[in-house]
Amino acid sequence: MENIDQFLNNIKQLNIDTFDLIKHTIPNKSHIEPINLYKKIAFGSLDLYILHPTASISEDEKVLMTLQKV
């Protein structure tokens, strides 16, 4: 725990923005929005797609119920 607290304190001192790594599901939207980690013209980009965990527990329960049926 001490290392985690030190790490979080260092991030705050450096003014680095953090992101919650939770998959946000939006009704009627079929794709996942990525977090862009790096982008440079003529070299490409690096995107992070959050696949799990989801923001709602009920969605996780639905997935588990589906998997149990298999």
Domain span holding position 65:
20-69
Q: Quick check: is 8 in a domain? A: no
- How many structural domains does the chain have? 1
Question: Which tokens belong to 24?
Answer: 């946000």
70 pLDDT higher than 70: no
pLDDT tens digits, residue range 13-67? Answer: 999 887 767 666 666 566 667 888 888 888 899 988 877 666 666 766 776 677 7
Predicted local distance difference test score (pLDDT) of residue 29:
60
Predicted local distance difference test score (pLDDT) of residue 51:
72
Predicted local distance difference test score (pLDDT) of residue 54:
63
Cβ partners under 8 Å of residue 30, min gap 6: none
Q: Quick check: is 27 in a domain? A: yes
Cα-atom radius of gyration of the chain, to the nearest Å?
Answer: 17
Reported pTM: 0.42
CA dist 15 and 36 (Å) reads 18
